Amino acid sequence: MITATKEDLAIDVHGLDISYMSGSRRVNVLSGVSLQLRQGEVLGLVGESGSGKSTMAGVLLASLRTSSFVSSGTVHLDGVDVFKLAGKELRAFRAGHVALVPQNAGAALTPTMRIGEQLTEGFRLDSAASETCESRRARAIELLKLVRLPDAAAALEKYPHQFSGGQQQRIGIAMALAARPRLLVLDEPTTGLDVVTQAAILDTLTRLHKELGMAMVLVSHDLGVIDKMCSQVAVLRRGKVVESGDTSTVLRNPSHPYTKGLLASVPRVTVPGIPPSLDDAAIDAFEKGAEMHPVDGALYERLAPQGTAPVLTIRGLSVDYNRKPKPGSAPTVLDVDLDVHAGEIVALVGESGSGKSTIANVVAGLQGRQAGQLTLNAQTELAPRVAHRAKSVRRAVQIIFQNADTSLNPRRTVRDAITRPLRLFNVKGLTAEQALAEVGLPVNFTERLPGQLSGGQRQRVGIARAVSAGPSLVLADEIVSALDVSVQSSILRLMDRLAKENNIGFLFITHDLAVVRSVADRVVVLYLGRIVEEGTVSEIFGSVSHPYTSLLMASVIEVGDDHSGAIAPGQDEVPAGPPAQGCPFASRCPLVMDICRSVRPPAIEVSGTHSIRCHAPLEKLEHL
Amino acid sequence: MLTRFVLPRLGWAVVTIMLATMLVFGAMQALPGDAATQILGQNATPEAVFTLRRQLGLDQAPLERFITWLGHALTGNFGTSLVSGQPVGPEVGRALLNTSFLAGITIVVGFTLALVLGLVAGLFRDRWPDSLISTVALVGMSIPEFIVATLLVLMFSITIPIFPAVVVAGQNATIAELAPSMPLPALSLMFVASAYIIRMMRTSVIDVMETDYVHTARLKGISMARLVVKHVVPSAILPTLNVVAMNVAWLIGGVVVVESIFNYPGMGSLMIQSVQSRDLPTILLITVIGAMTFVICNLLADLAATLLNPRLRYPRNSK
Amino acid sequence: MTSPTIVVESTQVGRGFWTDLSRVIRSILRSKPATLGFALVTLHVLLAVFAPLLAPGNPTSNNPAAVLQFPGGAYPLGTDTLGRDILSRTLYGGQYALTVSFASTALAVLLGTIIAGLAAFYGGWLDQVITRLLDSVLAVPAILAMLVLVTVFGSGPEVIVLAVVVVYTGGVTRVVRAAAMDIMPKDYIVAARARGEGVFYILSREVFPNILDVVLVEFAMRASWVVLLVSSLSFLGFGANPPTPDWGLMVAENRSLMAVVPLATLAPIVFLATLIVGLNLAADGLAKSLGVDRMKEILG
């Protein structure tokens, strides 16, 4: 693929096997990996959980988990065989040559040290910068300015916990750059950040790469991010590189069925419908030499139910975590109206801290409320606390959780988990086996413990537990965000089927706009506990939006975008809480006017179903 | 920080001490017979007992007596000893001074050493320095003080007579007179109290060594010494402080066995004597001091943790 | 980050109590110190149970004719000041130590677990009150509390058990409460609360199975402390009543004659020390195989 001398290559990995021992058996985490990267280029390592991509990132820093070892192959960085280095040499190599931006900078910054000190210890070996105290300080400020951290000089004296997640990530990048590395390894640098923050950080990284010109390796599960950032890409599956090459070739014209399937399973903001899921078994067979049948790549478009009765009506809901109102602060959730109809999937969308989970907890009766009325099936008032609700009401409202790991009791079998609500709510004529079949799991799973199931299977058990009670309303809190993209779409299809066949209304809480587009009927956009826009899915993704919705859309990165847009500086700075008056989005809004800071914006009725809360005239809200 | 952190805790501290004293006071009420029969003996006439009860205020209800005691205690008057007839304050004070001296030596020498040993064991996890230190700690945790003290006496007073086996200076000895007999009691206490500190420090060093931030710091290529001093120790010492506090409280309020073996005139010896003679005023004052030490040690540990932990010192937003 | 190793192992494990148990036992047997610990404890239990068969003489009968004998003949380890057989007294000594310690530890752990469960479930003011009350009990030096209780109620074994329960329940509650508090926010508890389950169901079916490991380690650990404390009490003369054969009491009785009959002091010391070392090693092994951090246990 590349013909170059060793010194021209930033990375030259040859036939690498990384293994660990399980009893007397040797298990490969990586097998037969060969990769090359020229100086100054950006390589994307893409794969799902268990693909070995994080192990690969560690390899590039000559760092392995204690139980793992190199069983064959070599890793040369700039012509240096890194696994031959030890002790002082290795430390010197790491200090001057290669740096890591870790996945979660919040955990990777030492909590007891000031930012300034942590930064400066990185350029000990950099003689120009480390001579005097002033020059060190100046260099540290320069680094923080480089990563666009606001108020760099003051930041030096602060501790890591005093920054937001996005700012911590910026500091992590600055720290990695401190030693002027020739190779920068980024391990899922934006996973776990809100979409706007992610876009802003990636913009910064692109700029840094242009200015500093070091080679970079970006590890990610997100094909859009890889497409935006990388010139080369390697697709990993179960420790093997299945396909590699120029990003444009691999992602636009994939040749391996796994790459094809992965690309096809990603939901798009720009295209409605649920994508097909990846056929893992067929790919396993293909790897063993079998023929791969062409996969039906058609998207499934969901039809919204028409004229069904409401199952949940929320009017004027306000929640305040402060017991006594404090001056200058405002309720966490204010004046929320929301309806869910039978058989309908309503998406509640917002960034972290938008209050979307708070609303779900209020509906479930797990969180108190200061004001507002909740009505079930247009007839039953919902008591604030679950303890005061009748059994029939508790049965009618069920929850599915984000994290299937903690939503099932690790000591109780699948059967226990499913049959408990059946017995409690006196559901007749439904067995655990039938409930499992309903969600597409083999019936012999009943005796398994949650630890013996995969993430997607556990999530199905969680769904079975909720659905078997025969609810009319299901609160689905980020139910696919912890899952690999290839599993996501099968869960989304299941949700669609259950809504349709069992006439269940879903309140689907998520931050992922692409997933919203693929499965939701109606969308409610929440910002700092206030509704800013609501409408049908086609209206929300149409040409007129609230400035906040537009910002969210603009921040989404997908394969095939031209990746030219950039987030204006400061737009990723989310305030700690809602303002006491005016529009919550005023501090970040490009269209902000004086009135926005003092008066709550009115609802503009764009259509019978579409409303936007904004002071700006409608024509200004149209985007390209 | 003072109002937000210290004051509420001080409030709770006072409540805790009060409750603790009440518990001991209440338990002592269940004793058959009372101080009057104790003092006068079995053969006293009922009239004499009656008069003494009046004098001692024993004819009042227990709660009333507790409140009277509390009122006096708040003005610094803790009553007179039923045994010696002297005010209990100075007597307990002298014992407290002696005990604090012994505890001081143990804390300064023993606990510092324990923290260092714990750090070494944690850094050399599963290698020979760790095995050695962990074994010593295990033995320290497993052997009762009376055995440690007995064996030390056997070794250093009987087999090789270099230290005195017991304190002979008597009840009113000054610190200078006590000093020569200090080594064996101090050694016994160090051995027993350090064990938990060593283990806690080891565990928390191992925990910190496995964090993402230590991993990141290693990847920066900094030296081992800097890694340990700057990145590991400040975080590792935080959970250990609580164990240190528990042991300090024990050293002041609970060293009965070692003091009684070496006949050391401290709080522990006094505690045993006063319990044996059912000398309630002395017992109550010892309880107050014990509970106060417990509360203050925990408070200081929390305070130190706050000072060492920037997350508590600078809360992100003052919500 | 879950390492692939764990995934492989967890798909191999079966379900149920017996498979769990056999896995724990296997993992204990893999560690030499833990095996030694359990062996020592088992040995002590057997010695105490079969003391009547093993002991050459009566542990409490005085023999003025054979005072302070050297080891040999009818007295393998010699005799004490009253002419009692040291070996017999040492063998019988385990009965008192083990019975009193295990009974009181079991009671304290049981009581502490129940209180902790309720405090964690209800939270709020009830939790506050329980925590404050227990803090006050913990603030009284343990040894003082025990001395007072023994003075007031006498030094029978049932009083010692009561005193240990008073002194240790607070500590157990703190630890178990912390463990239960970790479980309470888990989604499966939230799900149970949202279903409207009662306190008994949630605690017994959802919470306790997940903190059983912590409770077991807590039991093993407290047991070693209690043996230590009970023997110290006997040593001070506030525990076992003479002529009960008890190790702490024996050390107290014979300490002054260490130069004359060293075995009268050393034999009970060796027995006591091996029992507590055994308990500690067993607690360590149990903690390791159950994945519980023993040192964090202490803090609660």
Which run of H or of E encompasses A405?
Answer: helix A404-407
C-beta atoms of A104 and B231 within 8 A: no
Which run of H or of E encompasses C15?
Answer: none
Tokens 């869960």 sit at which residue? A491
Which residues on chain B place their C-beta less than 8 Å from a C-beta of chain A? 211-223, 226, 230-231, 234-235, 308-311, 314, 316-317, 319
- At residue C78, the pLDDT reads 74
The answer to whether C188 contacts chain A (CB < 8 Å) is yes
- At residue C4, the pLDDT reads 32
CB atoms within 10 A of CB A81: 12
- At residue B53, the pLDDT reads 72
Asked if the peptide bond before residue C268 counts as cis, ω within 30 degrees of 0, the response is no
How many contiguous H segments (helices) and E segments (strands) does chain B have? 17, 0
User: In this complex, which of A94, A125, A162 lies closest to B219 when CB atoms are compared?
Assistant: A94
pLDDT of B153-206, one tens digit each? 888 887 888 887 777 666 667 777 777 788 889 999 998 888 889 988 998 999
Q: DSSP secondary-structure letter at C168? A: H
Structure tokens at A109: 């910054």
Q: DSSP secondary-structure letter at B32? A: S
Q: Reading across the β-sheet that carries A9-22, which strands appear in turn?
A: A25-38, A9-22, A68-77, A80-81
Identify whether the C-beta of residue A48 lies closer than 8 Å to the C-beta of residue A280: no
Alpha carbon of A358: minimum distance to chain B alpha carbons (Å): 18
* More confident: A624 or C171: C171
Q: Which residue of C has its CA nearest to B140?
A: C277
Tokens 């800097």 sit at which residue? B226
Q: Which residue of C has its CA nearest to B136?
A: C277
> Is residue B83 pLDDT above 80, yes or no?
no
What is the dihedral sign for C-alpha C173, C178, C184, C186? negative
- At residue C8, the pLDDT reads 30
At the top level of CATH, the class of A310-533 is: alpha beta
Which run of H or of E encompasses B137?
Answer: helix B128-142
> Is residue C53 pLDDT above 90, yes or no?
no
Give me the torsion for CA of B196, B200, B203, B207, rounded to 10°.
170
Nearest residue to A335 (alpha-carbon basis) of A524, A193, A188: A524
**Which residues of B are less than 8 Å from A94 in CB distance?**
218-221
The answer to whether C123 contacts chain A (CB < 8 Å) is no
Alpha carbon of C10: minimum distance to chain A alpha carbons (Å): 6
C-beta atoms of B242 and C299 within 8 A: yes
Structure tokens at B231: 């990145």
Q: What is the DSSP string of A316-350?
A: EEEE-SSSSPPTT---SEEEEEEEEETT-EEEEE-
**How does the average pLDDT of chain A come out, rounded?**
87
d(CA C241, CA A163): 64
Structure tokens at A228: 């935006």
Paired sense of beta strands A98-101 and A530-536, if any:
unpaired
Q: Which chains touch B (3 or more CB pairs under 8 A)?
A: A, C
Alpha carbon of C44: minimum distance to chain A alpha carbons (Å): 34
- At residue C300, the pLDDT reads 38
- At residue A410, the pLDDT reads 86
C-beta atoms of A410 and C194 within 8 A: no
Burial A514-528 (b: 16+ CB within 10 A, else e): bbbbbbbbbbbbbbb
Q: What is the mean pLDDT of residues A410-436?
A: 88
Tell me how far the alpha carbon of residue A370 is from its chain's centroid: 31
Q: Domain extents for chain A?
A: 310-533
**How does the average pLDDT of chain C come out, rounded?**
82
Q: Which residue of A has its CA nearest to C5?
A: A22
**Which residues of B are less than 8 Å from A102 in CB distance?**
212, 215-216
**Which residues of C are less than 8 Å from A414 in CB distance?**
none
Phi, psi at A158, each rounded to 5°: -95, 165
C-beta atoms of C3 and A67 within 8 A: yes
A533 exposure class (CB count in 10 Å sphere: 0-12, 13-18, 19+): buried
Who contacts B63 (Cβ-Cβ below 8 Å, separation ≥6)?
none
Q: Which residue of A has its CA nearest to C212?
A: A411
pLDDT of A235-282, one tens digit each? 999 889 999 999 989 998 998 999 998 999 999 888 888 998 888 888
C-beta atoms of A27 and C187 within 8 A: no
Structure tokens at A549: 């919705």
Residues 85 through 124 of chain A touching chain B, CB cutoff 8 Å: 90-96, 99-100, 102, 104, 107-113, 117, 121-122, 124
User: In this complex, which of B214, B220, B234 lies closest to A94 when CB atoms are compared?
Assistant: B220
Q: Which chains touch A (3 or more CB pairs under 8 A)?
A: B, C
d(CA A284, CA A258): 9
- At residue C57, the pLDDT reads 74
Alpha carbon of C250: minimum distance to chain B alpha carbons (Å): 12
C-beta atoms of B311 and A102 within 8 A: no
Alpha carbon of A368: minimum distance to chain C alpha carbons (Å): 13
Cβ contacts of B7-13, under 8 Å, gap ≥ 24: B9/B299, B9/B302, B10/B299, B12/C132, B12/C135, B13/B295, B13/B296, B13/B299
Residues 163 through 192 of chain A touching chain B, CB cutoff 8 Å: 175, 178-179
> Is residue B211 pLDDT above 80, yes or no?
yes
- At residue A328, the pLDDT reads 66
User: In this complex, which of B150, B203, B294 lies closest to C139 when CB atoms are compared?
Assistant: B294
Q: What is the mean pLDDT of residues A465-482?
A: 91
User: In this complex, which of C15, C191, C206 lies closest to A413 when CB atoms are compared?
Assistant: C15
Q: What is the mean pLDDT of residues C146-162?
A: 88
* Fold exhibited by the domain B103-277: MetI-like fold (1.10.3720)
A332 forms bridges with which residues in the sheet? none
> Is residue A341 pLDDT above 80, yes or no?
yes
A348 forms bridges with which residues in the sheet? A509, A524
Q: DSSP secondary-structure letter at A291? A: P
Tokens 């610990």 sit at which residue? C37
C-beta atoms of C152 and B196 within 8 A: no
User: In this complex, which of C132, C236, C269 lies closest to B16 when CB atoms are compared?
Assistant: C132
C-beta atoms of C255 and B150 within 8 A: yes
Structure tokens at B83: 């045994």
Q: Give the Cα-Cα-Cα angle C289, C172, B119 (nearest 5 degrees).
A: 60
Q: What is the mean pLDDT of residues B60-82?
A: 81
Across B59-68, B219-228, C96-105, C238-247, the highest mean pLDDT is recorded for C96-105
Nearest residue to A188 (alpha-carbon basis) of A208, A205, A175: A205
**Which residues of A are less than 8 Å from C210 in CB distance?**
409-411
pLDDT of A569-594, one tens digit each? 777 777 878 888 889 998 888 888 99
Q: What is the CA radius of gyration of chain A?
A: 26
Full-model pTM: 0.82
In this structure, of B103-107, C190-194, C294-298, the range with the lowest mean pLDDT score is C294-298
What is the dihedral sign for C-alpha C39, C45, C49, C55? positive
pLDDT of B310-319, one tens digit each? 877 776 543 2
Residue to substitute from A65, A82, A112, interface B, most B β-carbons within 10 A: A112
**Which residues of A are less than 8 Å from B217 in CB distance?**
110
User: In this complex, which of B218, B226, B311 lies closest to A111 when CB atoms are compared?
Assistant: B311
Q: What is the mean pLDDT of residues A361-384?
A: 91
User: In this complex, which of C8, C13, C188 lies closest to A406 when CB atoms are compared?
Assistant: C188
- At residue A527, the pLDDT reads 93
- At residue C255, the pLDDT reads 81
Question: How many residues are given for chain B?
Answer: 319
Residue to substitute from C5, C13, C204, interface A, most A β-carbons within 10 A: C5
Angle at which helices C262-290 and C247-254 cross, to 10°: 150
d(CA B50, CA B58): 9
**Which residues of C are less than 8 Å from A391 in CB distance?**
196
pLDDT of B22-69, one tens digit each? 888 888 877 766 666 666 666 777 787 778 777 766 667 778 888 888
Q: Domain extents for chain B?
A: 32-75, 103-277
Which ranges of chain C does DSSP label H, i.e. alpha helix? 4-12, 17-30, 32-49, 51-54, 86-122, 124-139, 142-153, 157-183, 187-195, 199-201, 208-236, 247-254, 262-290, 294-299
Q: What is the mean pLDDT of residues A138-161?
A: 88
User: In this complex, which of B15, B27, B254 lies closest to C142 when CB atoms are compared?
Assistant: B254
Q: Which residue of C has its CA nearest to B270?
A: C144
> Is residue C294 pLDDT above 60, yes or no?
no
A582: region left, alpha or beta (phi > 0 left; psi from -120 to 50 alpha): left
- At residue C7, the pLDDT reads 31
**Which residues of C are less than 8 Å from A364 in CB distance?**
194
Identify whether the C-beta of residue B220 lies closer than 8 Å to the C-beta of residue A122: yes
Nearest residue to A166 (alpha-carbon basis) of A573, A566, A568, A585: A573
- At residue C99, the pLDDT reads 92
Q: Which residue of B has its CA nearest to C228?
A: B144
Q: Which residue of C has its CA nearest to B31?
A: C152
Identify whether the C-beta of residue A39 lies closer than 8 Å to the C-beta of residue A10: yes
**How does the average pLDDT of chain B come out, rounded?**
83
**Which residues of C are less than 8 Å from B260 in CB distance?**
236
- At residue C42, the pLDDT reads 92
Paired sense of beta strands A310-319 and A371-376, if any:
antiparallel
A248 exposure class (CB count in 10 Å sphere: 0-12, 13-18, 19+): exposed
